[in-house]
Amino acid sequence: MKKIDVAVIMAGGKGSRLRSITNDEIPKPMVPVDGKPLLEYQVEKLKEYGIKKIVMIVGHLGEKIMDHFKDGKDFGVDIDYIVEKEPLGTAGAFYYLKDKTDAKDFLLIFGDVFFDIDFDRMEDFHFKNAALTTLLAHPNGHPYDSDLIQTDDNGKVIGFDSKNNVRDYWYDNMVNAGMYIINRELLELVGEPVKIDFEKDILANQVKNGANVYAYHSPEYVKDVGTVDRINATVEELKNGLIASKNLKNRQRAIFLDRDGTMNVSKGFISNADDLELIPGTIEAIKAINKSGALAIVITNQPVIARGECSFEELHNIHNKLKTLLGEKGAFVDDIFYCPHHPDKGFEGEIPELKFDCECRKPKTGMIDEAVKKYNIDLSKSYMVGDSTMDLELARNAGVKSVLVDTGFAGNDGKYDRSCDIEAKDLLDAVEKIIKDMK
C-alpha cells in the first residue's frame, strides 16, 4: 500500500480575529489550545500518522514558529521552512515547494485547523480514485457562511459554491475542511512566486477541465479555530473526549433516521422539494445528535425514482432543502443513504433497470451495511428511528435498537411487528430518550 510521508502546513496567518489572545505577538498557528500551541497538535498528529518530513510555509512572525520547532528533531520529525517575505496566498509558495520535496503525493494542511482523523482512510480514497487532489469535506453547523463543494455521486468535485454567492437555491452542506492530499503535478501549475489562491485559481480551473479532483467525505473532527469562541469550544471537546472519539479508527455510534413521517411531515411520496416540510422539533433533535457525538444518518426508501415520479436530480434537491433548513439553524446530518429501487412493475413512466428486488430497500439492511463500512459503526451501540413497522423490522434485522415515533404512520402500517425498544411522541422526544439511554 502506498504511504504518504510528507506534509506541508500553511502556517502564515496573522489571526486578526484572535488578537485578544495573540496580542499581535504570536502568529495565528501558535495560538494556545488548552496550553499548547495549535501547530504543535498538528505536528504530533502528523507524526502519529507516520509523517517523516514537514514543510512549514511561514510569514507573519514566522521566526516564532521556527524558534519553537527548529529542525523538528525534538518533535520526532524533520521540519523545513519556506519563508514568505510577502503574502503569496494559499498557493504562491508552491513555486518554492518544488525544491523542498520530491514526494509524488503529499498532505497539505492549513495552520488554523484542529483535527483528529484516520489519514489511512483518506489516503486509500485518494489512491483508489487516482486523484490529482483529494480534499477533505464535511458538513458543519454554519454552511450558510462557508465555501461549499459540489460533487457527483462518486465524490468527484464538479464545482465550488462560494460563500459570497447569493444562495437563492437549496444547497448541499459539503464544506471544504482545509485538508488536502495533493499530487505533485499541481506544483507545476505555479510557474513563478506570485500571489495565487489554491482553490479559486488552481482547483477550480482543474475541475472545469475535468481533472480528477475528489472530495473525501468524513464526519471526523476537523475544525477551523480562527476565533476565540471556536478555540473555547475545541478545548471543551478536547477535554470531554469528543475529538478523539470521532476518529474513524474508533467504532462510532449512529442514530439512523427514517425521513418521511419521522423528520418531515408525511405527505405520501414526495417528488418535489416544495413538499418537504420539517416536523416541529426536528432541527432541535438533529442538533442534539450532533452535540452527543453520535452520527446522524438518514436511511430512506425512495421508490419514486424507480416509478419515474421523481428524478435523481430532484431527489438531490429535496435532500439539499433538508440540509439547508437544518444548516440555517446550526444542525446537520452526517450522510443520507437512499434506495431508488422498487420490486413491483406496472407503473406508468417507470424505469425498468431500477425495478428489481434489491438488497438495500428497507427492511433489508443494505443501506445500513454501507454506512457501517463507510463510517466504522458499532451497531450494538446504535439506533434506528422511524414511524413505520418497516423501520422497526430494519432495526431488528440490522441488530440496532428500535425507536418508534408517533408521527407519520405511528407504527400503524400493519406490515411487521410493532414492538420496539423505545417509543416516543416525535423525533425530538426520541433523541432525548436515546441520549439518556446511551449514558
**pLDDT, position 382:** 98
Q: Give yes or no for residue 19 having a pLDDT over 60.
A: no
**pLDDT, position 170:** 97
- 88 and 141 both lie in a single domain: yes
Is residue 389 in a domain?
yes
Measured between alpha carbons, how far is 372 from 335 in angstroms, rounded to an integer? 12
- 295 and 204 both lie in a single domain: no
- 351 and 374 both lie in a single domain: yes
- 158 and 290 both lie in a single domain: no
- 321 and 350 both lie in a single domain: yes
**Longest Cα pair distance anywhere in the chain, in angstroms?**
73
CA angle 371–181–112, rounded 5-degree value: 95
Q: What residues act catalytically?
A: 258, 260
**pLDDT, position 439:** 82
Q: Give yes or no for residue 14 having a pLDDT over 80.
A: no
Sign of the dihedral defined by the CA atoms of residues 222, 157, 297, 272, in that order: positive
Range of the domain at 225: 6-238
- 342 and 261 both lie in a single domain: yes
Is residue 97 in a domain?
yes
Q: Give yes or no for residue 256 having a pLDDT over 70.
A: yes
Angle subtended by helix axes 282-292 and 427-438, to nearest 10: 20
Is residue 130 in a domain?
yes
- 258 and 327 both lie in a single domain: yes
- Which triple of cell numbers denotes residue 158? 464538479
Measured between alpha carbons, how far is 26 from 259 in angstroms, rounded to an integer? 48
Domain boundary among 191, 211, 238: 238
- 139 and 41 both lie in a single domain: yes
Is residue 246 in a domain?
no
Q: Give yes or no for residue 15 having a pLDDT over 80.
A: no
**pLDDT, position 309:** 94
Is residue 243 in a domain?
no
**pLDDT, position 13:** 67
Of all residues in the chain, what percent carry a pLDDT higher than 90? Answer: 81
Is residue 1 in a domain?
no
Is residue 424 in a domain?
yes
Q: What share of the chain is helix, strand, coil (3-state, %, to 5)?
A: 35, 25, 45
- 362 and 260 both lie in a single domain: yes
Please report which confidence band the pLDDT of residue 270 belongs to, taking 50, 70 and 90 as the band edges. very high
**pLDDT, position 23:** 56
CATH number at residue 308: 3.40.50.1000
CATH number at residue 136: 3.90.550.10
Domain boundary among 238, 261, 290: 238
- Which triple of cell numbers denotes residue 89? 496566498
- Which triple of cell numbers denotes residue 371? 454506512
- 14 and 162 both lie in a single domain: yes
**DSSP helix/strand/coil, 1:** coil
pLDDT tens digit sequence for 347-391? 788 999 999 999 999 999 999 999 999 999 999 999 999 999 999
Domain boundary among 185, 203, 238: 238
Q: How many domains does the chain have?
A: 2
**pLDDT, position 92:** 87
- 118 and 228 both lie in a single domain: yes
Is residue 353 in a domain?
yes
**pLDDT, position 192:** 84
- 291 and 406 both lie in a single domain: yes
Rounded mean pLDDT, 401-421: 98
